[in-house]
Amino acid sequence: MQTHYRAVKQKEPHCRRFTDILPFASMLRSYKLYLMLLVSSIFFIVCQNQGSITSLVSNAAAASSGSVDDLPGVVAAPLQGNDGLELLYGDSEPALGAEKIRSRSLNSKDMLQKLNDRSSSTSSATSTTATTTTSTTTARTTSTTTTAKVVPTAPSTNGILAGSSSDVPYRFPVDTKQLPPLYIITPTYRRPEQIPELTRLGYTLKHVQNVLWIVVEDSENRTATVTRLLEEIGVPFVQLAAPMPAQYRKQKVKPRGVSNRNRALQWIRANATEGTLYFADDDNTYNLKLFEQLRHVRKVAMFPVGLISKYQVSSPVVKNGTITGFYDGWLGGRKYPLDMAGFAVAVKFLHKRPKAQMPFKPGYEEDGFLRSLEPLELKEVELLASNCTEILTWHTQARKNPPAPALDRKKYGGTNLVQLTSWLV
């Protein structure tokens, strides 16, 4: 009887398939264990940081639903006037605030609606978020602030715009007790040289700490071109509009910039309590040393200005540290024959002269404003620029340019010239 045997190698494929399953099952169990450990770790971390996550979510919700003024670390400066409400945004850290501040404008038609929305939302938002934000905002409000309280006023006849605003603080990057603030007032109007001259002045001010640039346009409303430039430069600013009254526009020699400066003085009275104000026109060139010397003015300071009139300089005449007269190419019977860039005034001293303002009298704007600050004796005037022996500001007015001709759209349509002409006047 013949016996048949099956070859052993025929059973090997079945055995190999069975043994191959075992490592796969072991790996699957390892992955499951790894996933369970990962989920457990995430759950443990979430439980440990539940309070921080809750605060983060609540802050994000408040940021998306509330107004900009409610954001932690955001500071604002109010404007007064029917030209709208201007907000200044800055980083909460003093060292970085100057580089982070920007501006956003509202049209005059939207201002009342914005104020109503803010007043209605503030009461409800305060009760729901006070408990969650108290601990986070307390540590962020240690630097000095200048709080503004603006009272509604009626429109006046001297070109000053009027309006109302709520109480919001503006925080200077450096404590004002250590470094007094500077309020730089710059009137401006639309012309071919406006943007380049504002650019030059703006990037000069970018090197100055604790400065607030008050730019006032001679127009009915703020213009988007100036706003875009101010935001791009990055200097903390307030943008206002104060048109010249109609009766003065008919004159052959116009009192240009008077309504602008008076509007800025109104803003400073409503918002500032310390520091120094200085009328810095956009057609001048400034040495940075001047701004540092302006910080500690007690009442009124005076100093020379170069490239003025036929004498090429306008300055007090100083002998033995005392003003004995004034040197200027045109005296005109003025008591204070100075250039607009040749003096500065302390904010506290301005508050003591509530009626001080600039007259609508061409050629006598500086003299009229300084007279409105009286009683003021020459011995009280502080002499800057090394006792008036240096010139730290120059009247470098750009050459007047005629308006640009209209672009031929048929010839240059679709080219870069279409965009470039938007910069021109």
Q: Any known ligand binding at 110?
A: no
Residue 183 is inside which H or E element, if any? strand 182-188
Distance CA 208, CA 347 (A): 18
CB 184 within 8 A of CB 210: no
Q: How far is CA 279 from CA 65, 269, 393, 409, in A?
A: 40, 15, 12, 41
Give dist(CA 25, CA 122) in Å, integer. 61
CA 425 to CA 354: how far, in whole Å? 38
What positions carry a catalytic annotation? 366
- Exposed, middle or buried by CB within 10 Å (0-12, 13-18, 19+), for 162? middle
**Quick count: other Cβ atoms within 10 Å of Cβ 381?**
19
- Contact assessment for residue 359 and residue 265, using Cβ atoms and an 8 Å cutoff: no
H/E stretch holding 115 reads helix 108-138
Which run of H or E residues covers position 269?
helix 258-271
CA angle centred on 27, ends 24 and 31, rounded to 5°: 140
DSSP 8-state symbol, 262: H
| Residues placed in the known binding site | 283
| Residues placed in the known binding site for Mn(2+) | 283
